[in-house]
Every structure is written in structure tokens, then in C-alpha cells.
Structure 1
Amino acid sequence: MSLSDPSQKRIYEVLLRLRTRSGDIVPPSAFLPAAERYNLSNAIDRWVVDHTFAWMKQHFQQLDDVDHLAINLSGASLGSHTLLSHIMQQITLHNLPPSMIKFEITETAAISNLRDATLFIKTLSEFGCQFALDDFGSGLSSFAYLKNLPVCTLKIDGMFVKDILNDPIDEAMVKSINDIGHVMGMKTIAEFVENDAIRQRLQDMGVDFAQGYGIGKPAPIDDILQPQCAGDVCNSTVKA
């Protein structure tokens, strides 16, 4: 949800859920650690990219009021030149505007793979895609590394956001991240916005966007096609 521009087109983050053989929906915290342990993260990222791009191509005429979709990438993908080439090939194949696609990588993954992350981000940014640094503030050297990562958006870690009404230190952290991001020409998104009071405090601080259950809960990706959430950052789910 835009906190500063009511005319902002809709923005969505694509979230992954696993459907079991019995039909139950499994959250990522239950299967992604195992995927990382068995080196399957790259394959999962590629699956999400391919299915999201194919869905965008199929419904492109119905996405006029959508600004962009955000796709999360794992740290393992940042060093994959094969995936990097594949992403650009698929965007071209499906004739999608690169600006409608934003990739999100966590601050921890970026710092752990700084050289690969910088190359990955720079290449796709020059191609026209957007990048966000997710969970910003969770690392120990956040600001020192930020100057070297060519991202356009900072997502403020929700662990600071959720208690800003009661914890002055958390509020100061959110304010400092927002201020630094703006000085560097970036947009900011606050995660874990669970109610109107938190949203209002963030708006008063000058944070650009809010995301969380107080804005919109995860829903099937086809819900994007419905005329709802105008101007919001909503969550949509791609089910495996």
C-alpha cells in the first residue's frame, strides 16, 4: 500500500506455498529449509520465475492497473549465471516489460554473496528489472554494504516495524533506515504492518509503502485479476 501516493498502481509480492497430496497448504518455513539443505533452492526459484512469467503473459491484458510483481530469490540463485540468462530469456520470450518485475533478495543473502549479488543485480537492473533488498536491518553491517548494492527499494525488517508504537528503539531504527534509503534515492517498504495505528505512524515518518496483514493477507494469484486493493502492496500466492 502506498503511504504517499493514492494514485499508485497495485503492487504484489509473489509468495510460495506447497500443496500436499492430501490438499493441505504448507507454509514456506516448513519446506524451504529442507530445500536449501538439499541444494534445491535454485530449482525452486526457477520454477517460481517460470510460472509467474507464464501467468503474467497469459493475463497481461488484465494487468493494466498493476505496477509490478515482486519475486523472492534465494542466496543460492545469486551465483547462478544460468538462472540469470534464463530470466532475461524468459522475459524476452513472453514479451514482458522488465519494469513490471521486481526481484527481492534478503540483506543476509546479499552480504554473504556480495560479488555475485552485485553482478546479478547490476545485470538485471540494466535489463530493466527492479530490485529490493528484503529484511533490511537484520544484518550487522547493513549501512556499510548498502552503498555497494544497486537496489531501488529497501524493505524494512518487520521485527523493527511491529513494535514501533511501544519501543522507541525500534521506531528509531525504522526512521534511520527510511532516512538513509531516501538520501540514497530509494523507496522504502515497511513489513509486518498489522494495524492502522502502525500504518499511520509509518506514514508520519515518510515511509513510502506498507505491507502486512493489516494491508492484505496472502491470496491465490488469480485474485490479482479482481478490481481490488487499488494502490496497495498486496501478497499473492503461487501454489506448487
Structure 2
Amino acid sequence: MKWFSRIRASDRAHGIAAAAQASVERDECCEITAKSPDGRWEFADGVLRSGTLRAAVPEVDWFERWTYAMFPTSDILILALNTGQPYERSGPEGSVGNPQGFLIVLELDDRRHWVLAAFELALDWCKHNEEFVPDAVVWHRRGVLAWLYKGELNWHVRRQPQRRDAPDEPIYLLDIDSNQGLIAHSGVMYQSGDTMTIDDTGRILTFCHAGDAHLVDVDLNTESSDGRTWEPIPEGLIVRH
């Protein structure tokens, strides 16, 4: 698979993510499509296009379908997908395989080539016919990935250097960032909300529910309801990798 190819001769923006900036829709055939804010790039049918340029996204092992696509900025694309690996309830090693939900983050590099910036398991067990469609996903270029799904907030803070892959081979499910030593720490909070943003520094997550805002400092692992008084997030909700 060629990662980036020019078919015929034919802004770099700060990497914060906000769902309101995205143009995401599902066409009549239930395909996931999205357009970048500047209108230059479009994702459809698993392909990124910009005029006569075409960039194929990575091939994922046991891929079943795309469930979400968003351009928070014109040089960042966030994707979610379901896998469909076969499931067996019994066996000498216990259960084998189950449908799961994953997130992919692609970035335009200095050469204007799309590269893989993040690949992470986001839902480790999909119920029958469940589609992993996150309520919100944010990404910051310093290596912060966070997502909301059914009220549960998860975030990962990456180490340096960050992932900048342009693979010619399929991505296997065990290739997630958590298994590659790329995560410094991660956290989870339950019954969190249904919308989310991240600040310009990539440090403060703000999520809202029913008009009430709550903040998380992903560096200090603290939380606040007013931005002035901060409390430690319970250790049981933080994992240091």
C-alpha cells in the first residue's frame, strides 16, 4: 500500500480539537464522510482526497467499518472504527476475539504528507451490533488524546518522541500506542458529559453536561468545577504506564 501518492500534477494550523469545527456526515449508503474546515480535504470511503491528490489511510487488521470522522483543523483528521474479529466463547485459552472500537489520528507533516500520529484502543468490548461512535474526541499535537463515549471520559498523555508512522503494512490491533511505550499516563472519569474541548496548551480538558462545565488538568491529574479550586483525581482512576 502506498501511503501518499500524486495522481496528477495539481495551513499548517495549531493542533487543538473542537467538535464544533468539524463537518461530519453520514451519506445515504451509511459511509462516513468529513470535510476539512478550509475545504481542501475530504474523507470518504476510507480515502483522503484533495483535488487530484489522494492519501489512503492505514489499513487496520480485522477492520469492519468506519464509525466517525472529524477534521478539528485542516491538518488533523480523527477517525473511529469498529473491528470485527471472530469471537469464540470457549477454548483452552478462554475467549478468543471480540469486536472493539479504535481511534486513529492522522496529521499533515512538514512535507504535506499524512502520517499516523496516534492509534489507540478506545472500546475493548462492543456489544452485539454496537457501533463505537464517540460523543467527542480531542487531540493536541503535544500528544494528548481524549474521548467521551456514553458519558465516560478517557485521556492519554504521550511521551516523547511521538508517533510519526507512515506504514506500508496493515496496522495490527496490538500496535496501539499503549503497547508501544508511548503513553506516560492515562486517566478515566465516569458520568462525565457529552461535549468536550481542550485548551491551546493541550493541558486542560473541559467537558460539559446539562450546561455544567468541569475541568481536568491532564498533566497534574487534578479536576475542578470552577477553574480556581483543584482537587486530585483519585489514584484508582489514573494509570502510570
TM over 0.5: no
> Which has the larger share of strand?
2
- The structure that has the greater radius of gyration is 2
When normalised by structure 2's length, the TM-score is 0.29
Structure showing greater relative contact order (alpha-carbon pairs closer than 8 Å, 6 or more residues apart): 1
TM-score for the superposition, normalised by structure 1 = 0.29
